[in-house]
Structure 1
């Protein structure tokens, strides 16, 4: 080794008399080093993919939960959105501004109607499955939480269950509902 020596006994590498304090060095063949790097890179990629899948699943749950939290407001919007000029005093607006405003409200109402119809179908399927499995109480907890706006403590008291049971039931239904609403990713099938 030109200008380098390995000190016998402690495995420290020194270069021309310099001795790094507290550092240990290991000499390995280049091929073995490349193998270790490849192995570490594969492990990192695998961990990244696993974390990405976990994040996707969490995001789907979060999106479904958030969507259900807004469900009552969406239904209210459909039932009460002002989409006719006679429903709203549009004084001070030109005819063009009135038309643009009303078209915007109608488009929003239509999109919300389609979305809630999709949610309604998925919820009907959840209800059917729970009845078929003789687990209607789980659906009732879900309905009280999202459709009636009750909190988990009120639901537990109403359904005479433990304090965490309604949350567990709602979580299970949300997980099932997320597949009905968003579909299955191809990664999930593998």
Structure 2
């Protein structure tokens, strides 16, 4: 194999690797959006119920000698709680924008399908019944909404092809 042939081959391999990486990023945004929506209610519950103050958990068994370790633990919980709140806020903003977009284009039922499935925990069958459509339509609408929502959550990373 000549040097020129090797260079051409290396360029093709590099192009293919870049294409695969971009495809993974795009799929990653979609996957992460679906995962966030699947766990949305649990994230909200975690934020609302997490104990983040020593006084919230002090049952008289905290030893003052161990307070540094306890404080670090509580700080860790607070940090987790704050990160959860930030993510919930991002999701709420994305949901609001997605709802408004669907209202503007006249396909609010797509958004309703997403809301009924992920937030209200309805089955595809129940959603189809409520929206007077087929289960296949419900699945397609939810997938469409997840793709659109991934752009609101992950920006350009969700658009890379």
Give the structure-1-normalised TM-score. 0.72
Cα RMSD, aligned residues only? 2.3
| 1:148 match | 120
Superposition deviation, residue 49 in structure 1: 2.2
CA distance in structure 1 between the aligned counterparts of 2:88 and 2:116, rounded to whole angstroms: 18
Structure 1 position 142, deviation (Å)? 0.4
Which one has the largest radius of gyration? 1
The structure 2 residue matched to 1:82, chosen from 44, 48, 51, is 51
> Which residue number corresponds to residue 107 of structure 2?
135
Q: Which of the pair is proportionally richer in helix?
A: 2
Separation (CA, whole Å) in 2 of partners of 1:85 and 1:179: 39
Between the aligned partners of 2:73 and 2:5, the Cα distance in structure 1 is: 64
- Cα gap change, 1:47/1:104 in structure 2, threshold over 3 Å: closer, same or farther? closer
- For structure 1, the 5+ residue unaligned runs are 1-29
Q: How far off its partner does 1:146 sit?
A: 1.0
Spell out the pairing of 1:55-74 with structure 2 (5 A cutoff).
55-74=24-43
Unaligned runs of 5+ in 2: none
| Count of aligned residue pairs for this structure pair | 157
Counterparts of 2:81 and 2:63 in 1: how far apart (Å)? Answer: 23
Distance across 2 between alignment mates of 1:45 and 1:125: 38
Q: TM-score, normalised by structure 2?
A: 0.83
Q: Shift in Å at residue 46 of structure 1? A: 2.6
Contact 1:142 1:170 in 2 (8 A): yes
